[in-house]
Amino acid sequence: MQITLEHTNASHISRELVRARKASGSPAMDMVLTLIVVCDDSTVADALHAATTLSKEHPARIIGVILGKATGAPDLHAKIRVGSETSGESILLRLSGRLVKHAESAVLPLLLPDSPVVVWWPGQAPANPSGDAMGALASRRLTDAEAASQPVRHLRTVARHYAPGDTDLSWTRLTPWRALLAAALDQVGSPVTGGLIVAGSGNPAGVLLESWLEDRLGVHIRWRRVDSTRIEQVVLETADGDVTISRGQHGAATFSVPGSGERSVPLPTRSLAELLAEDLRRLDADAIYAATIRHMLREDS
């Protein structure tokens, strides 16, 4: 069921939400979190699609916030969707005028009681996510460096303002690589003496991988730049031989560890919804991410 409200306010929206929920037989009262998606007209469609797919795994109240022009009289339009297809509720707010500077005031009354709040910027995120008025509503803040015009630079900026609860989606994208590398070292007895990442320059996931490996292994990781937007290969050197993982075709990778032949393993590219689902599985601070960006910033200075 879908309801459109023009020139409205938060209490009116809350009232309509209750009405809509009753009308559709109180579905999904077991919503577990509120997900605020701060976006603009160019990112809203993809972002909300991912968020609603996600609510199959984490029934959520999804609040899409489109920030319009910040000048002129304040105005708020809302579109409410309850029940059909999604297992949670979604509210799309379109803010304009001076309200844009106080967007959190429209969102605060709509948060689910008690349960965690997550804010996600699918596009350009603020430099200081936890200092941002919207970010301050949340205990978990998701940025996406790859959506920024200068990804690595943005990643560093956000990292400098790190507060527990922040993570970047490029870290989430890295999980399959990290899983394979950890699985490889499960099978290798001798310590890693060095390593190499083959990736395109300006790849934030690559930068994080380098920092993570250096931080965990205590060795220097070299970087070979190639013309690619992704990580293509990772090599870890040990006394027994090299661990090599290379991205192949069709969501596969070749995997070789000392002492066994080359094997093919899955390394699928995951959808935005799958990435978000991974992030929302744990709503506490990610200590390993924190250690990784700390290492990254230390290396810079």
Partner 1 sequence: MTTNPLRDPQDRRLPQIAGPCSMVIFGITGDLARRKLIPAIYDLANRGLLPPGFALVGFARADFRSQTFDQLAKAAAKAGARTDWRDSVWRQLAAGMKFVGGSFDDDDAWDRLRSTLADLDAKQGTRGNHAFYLSIPPGLFPTVVDRLRRSGLATADVDPTYPHAWRRVVIEKPFGHDLESARRLNQIVAEVFPSESVFRIDHYLGKETVQNILAFRFANQLFEPVWNSNYVDHVQITMAEDIGIGTRAGYYDGIGAARDVIQNHLMQLMALVAMEEPISFDATSLRIEKQKILANARPPARLDLHTARAQYTEGWAGGVPVGGYLDEDGIPADSLTETFAAIRVDIGTRRWAGVPFYLRVGKRLGRRVTEVAVVFKRAPHLPFSSDDVEELGENALVLRIQPDEGVTLRFGAKVPGTVMEIRDVNMDFAYGGTFVENSPEAYERLILDVLLGDPPLFPQHEEVELSWQILDPVIEHWARQKTIDTYPAGTWGPESADAMMARDGRRWRRP
User: Cα–Cα–Cα angle for 155, 161, 167, nearest 5°?
Assistant: 55
Compute the least distance from the CB of residue 214 to partner 1, in Å: 11
Compute the least distance from the CB of residue 105 to partner 1, in Å: 30
Closer residue to partner 1, CB minimum distance, 53 or 124: 53
Closer residue to partner 1, CB minimum distance, 57 or 104: 57
Compute the least distance from the CB of residue 190 to partner 1, in Å: 9
Closer residue to partner 1, CB minimum distance, 136 or 291: 291
Compute the least distance from the CB of residue 250 to partner 1, in Å: 5
Q: Which residues bind partner 1 (CB under 8 A)?
A: 28, 30, 32, 55-59, 87-88, 172, 175-176, 178-187, 189, 191-192, 213, 216-218, 250-252, 255, 257, 259-261, 263-266, 268, 277-278, 281-282, 286-288
Closer residue to partner 1, CB minimum distance, 32 or 112: 32
Compute the least distance from the CB of residue 27 to partner 1, in Å: 10
